[in-house]
Amino acid sequence: MDTALLSLVAGSGWASGLRVYLVAFGLGLSGRLGWVEGVPEVLTGLPILVVLGLLLAAEELIDKVPVLDSTWDTVHTVVRPVGAAALGWLLTGELDAVLQATSSGTAGGLALLSHASKATLRGAINASPEPASNALASLTEDGLVLAVLWLAVAHPIVALAVVALLLAAGGAAAAVVVRRLRRRRGHRRDAVRERR
């Protein structure tokens, strides 16, 4: 597998953990318009683009609303990695079955990792009292997805490095949030014990 294809599989896998419909729609539309070569034909068909566009529109609206976005994220804990794995499979359709399966698993695994970081961080953001941070986080995620996809096509090696950095940063941020939540629960337990 060449670097360009590896970058597209890794970039679309990571990005699918945040916005699987945006990734699939973006790839399909780019392939249909001739901007990106090698996009599987199944993604470029008008009926598929319409369905993906509707799902993307729904996700964009829901993702800006606290609580609804957490419910959407919960459901998409399965959908995003499976969608990423399917994209990885489709993108590597010209390769032998072992490489295709490996690429599919890699894309799905990257999506699961980025989704876990996103869901953890967004859960913490939803706990904040003001609603603006949720919409800002959502727009930031949209920008990251589009930037990673563009890099994967235009600058494959840079994209691979960016995906690695984003995975590390997301994991570190999620770990900080989890530690703080555990500390907070510990303080609450201690306070309850003191009252008794």
Please give, one letter per residue, the 3-state secondary structure of 138-163.
HHHHHHHHHHHHHHHHHCHHHHHHHH
User: Over 79-135, what HEC string results?
Assistant: HHHHHHHHHHHHHCCCCCHHHHHHHHHHHHHHHHHHHHHHHHHHHHHHCCCCCHHHH
Q: Give CA–CA dist 105/138, Å, rounded.
A: 26
pLDDT at 190: 63
**8 Å CB contact between 42 and 140:** no
User: Is 102 exposed, middle or buried, given 0-12, 13-18 or 19+ CB atoms closer than 10 A?
Assistant: middle
- Residue 99 to residues 56, 93, 103, 105, 144, Cα–Cα distance (Å): 29, 9, 6, 10, 27
pLDDT at 113: 95
**Which residue in the block uniquely carries the two structure tokens 């609603």?**
131
pLDDT score, position 135: 82
In the predicted model, residues of the chain with pLDDT beneath 70 are 129-131, 186-196
Give the DSSP H or E segment for 77.
Answer: helix 68-91
Nearest CA-CA partner of 125 in 114, 109, 140: 140
pTM for this structure?
A: 0.88
- pLDDT tens across 108-160, in order? 999 999 999 998 888 778 777 666 777 888 899 999 999 999 999 999 999 99
* Neighbouring C-beta atoms of residue 27, cutoff 10 Å: 27
Given a contact cutoff of 8 angstroms between Cβ atoms, the answer to whether 120 and 176 are in contact is: no
pLDDT at 87: 96
